[in-house]
Amino acid sequence: MANMIMASSKTIITSSSTPHLHLPPTPKLHKSPQLTPLLTTPLPKPLSLNPTTAFNSLAAILATSLAAAPPSLAEEFEKAQLFDFDLTLPIIAAEFLFLMFALDKLYYSPLGNFMDQRDKEIKNKLSSVKDTSAEVKQLEEQANAVMRAARAEISAALNTMKKETQLEVEKKLAEERKKLEAELQEALAKLEEQKEETIKSLDSQIAALSDGIVKKRLADGSHIYLLYVDDMLIATKSMSDVNSLKEQLKRKFEMKHLGAAKRILGMEIQRDRPAGILYLSQKRYIEQGTVIVEKIFTDENPTNTMTKYIPEIKLKHCLDLIGISSI
């Protein structure tokens, strides 16, 4: 700032209240190389710990420097009365305004425009998002409606398929049932035919066997056969005939000897060997009061018998086969 300070020769005009008071001349400053010796003296560094102490030290140093100044510098200080900045201040002001205008046009205005544009875009996006929320809801409703319609169509299609499948299955089942019934009827008819044929063949075999039994008995009158289910009662006048018949039967069938007969057709057999008489008794049934007493007597084989009502028909049938008449 030393090159911008100029001295002035004008004196300071005082007020009218003190006309006779003359102030000492103020030292004026001007560009002079004599200021350099003052600046060459090193100044002590102020203490940074206490600002008040540092300021007092600086003031003391300045007072000492001014007191030790040369007489020429004191004279110059006395001559100086005002500061004159020339054109420096307007130039600096113009530079400041130019820089302010340039920065505003080149930096702050584009930055402000960019920030405004960004805020505007953000607001537009936010508003668009808010606006699209209704569209999103509408799209969701449409999607839900489409899903409901699709589910309804699928359920209807499934029901239709189930009905069609059920009808087809029922038709097939009915056809198969008819086929099975027809096959069953054919099988039953064949079984009936086979049954009739078997019965006819069995009837002929039974008649032949019956004739054979009767013929055996009628050959010499020495054998009597009574057949009942799977048991056989053999009655003869000689045990040798019984044994020979058993041997013949063993050759063709699996036979088991049960010993002397004790019961037949639910009746007990009682023997009177000295008299040569056989008795068929149902004493137990008589004691219980549930029997019917009947007497059967013949000259060839006299027998007293008591029979139940139910097996009487079977016994008579057997007796008729062997030619024994009942009374």
User: What pLDDT sits at residue 206?
Assistant: 63
User: What pLDDT sits at residue 22?
Assistant: 43
Residues with Cβ within 8 Å of 275's Cβ and at least 6 positions away in sequence, in order, are none
pLDDT beneath 50: ranges in the chain: 1-49, 211-216, 218, 290-310, 325-327
Residue 228: count other Cβ atoms within 10 Å of its Cβ. Answer: 14
Rounded to an integer, what distance in angstroms lies between the CA atom of residue 150 and that of residue 165? 22
Give the side-chain half-sphere CA count within 13 A for 16: 0
Stated as kind and residue range, the H or E segment containing 292 is strand 292-293
User: Phi-psi bin for 226: left (phi > 0), alpha (psi -120 to 50), beta?
Assistant: beta
**Type of residue found at 284:** R
User: What pLDDT sits at residue 301?
Assistant: 42
User: What pLDDT sits at residue 198?
Assistant: 80
Assess contact for 226 and 232: CB atoms under 8 A.
Answer: yes
Show me where the domains of the chain are located.
Answer: 2-6+23-86, 126-220, 221-321
Assess contact for 79 and 25: CB atoms under 8 A.
Answer: yes
User: What pLDDT sits at residue 226?
Assistant: 57
User: What pLDDT sits at residue 8?
Assistant: 40
User: What pLDDT sits at residue 258?
Assistant: 72
User: What pLDDT sits at residue 16?
Assistant: 41
User: What pLDDT sits at residue 79?
Assistant: 56
User: What pLDDT sits at residue 259?
Assistant: 74
User: What pLDDT sits at residue 223?
Assistant: 55
The vertex-53 CA angle with 47 and 66, nearest 5°, equals 95
Assess contact for 269 and 263: CB atoms under 8 A.
Answer: yes
Q: Which single residue is written with the structure tokens 């000295």? A: 274
Helix residue spans in the chain (DSSP H): 36-40, 51-67, 71-79, 88-103, 109-220, 239-252, 283-288, 309-321
